[in-house]
Amino acid sequence: MAISATHRGWWWDVDNTRLRIYVNGTLVGYFDNASPYLVVASGLTVTAGNLVVTAGSLNAGGAAVWLTQKVGPMAQRKTVTTAADTATLTVAQFRSQHIDGTPTAAAAYTTPTAAAIVADITNAEVGSSYYLSINNMSAGANTITLTAGNGITLDGTVTVAQNVCRLFLVTCTNVTAASEAVTIYGMG
């Protein structure tokens, strides 16, 4: 595949099983299935926090991406968190991106505030998004209802029936300090 001089982003190189990273048409690094490290192109410098790497490899730690197959999806490590009955969910539970709920009665799960969600996203901007799934593992016919914390707008279906796992899209709609807003979309 020819890369234009303005291309910025990712390209899956099937022949070499690499996810290549381009900026202005220049290959700046890649991930491959040989290791979970970012390989930086020769002569380039990458800064991650206080760590500076000039060429070579950068271990991204818990944020590392592993390629699972030659043409398969990327996988990331996730932590499953839990909630039982009515609760105010924490930013850490949201960040885990999967919550197993085990309510013993109808339960309301209140979201963190928009300010807390925005603050938890590094370099958040309008449109910054991630998915959250809530799995209702109740032993009885107990429904989980997502309720809005301050600055949150809920859209779509926000209930999770017994033995259902519902997907939500969490999207920043305002990241201005003291005016943060997040919309959470029920995906079906």
pTM as predicted? 0.62
**Low-confidence winner among 159-163, 173-177, 184-188 (lowest mean pLDDT):** 184-188
Q: What single DSSP character describes residue 63?
A: G
Is the pLDDT assigned to residue 78 strictly greater than 90? Answer: no
Residue 85 DSSP SS3: coil
Predicted confidence (pLDDT) per residue in 23-54, tens digit: 767 777 777 666 555 666 655 555 555 445 45
* Burial of 160 per CB tally in 10 Å (0-12, 13-18, 19+): buried
Predicted confidence (pLDDT) per residue in 164-179, tens digit: 999 999 999 999 999 9
Rounded Cα distance, 39 and 29, in Å? 5
- pLDDT for the residue numbered 165: 93
Residue 65 CB-half CA count within 13 A? 13
Cα dist from 8 to 3, 22, 48, 69, whole Å: 9, 5, 19, 24
pLDDT band at residue 63, thresholds of 50, 70 and 90?
very low
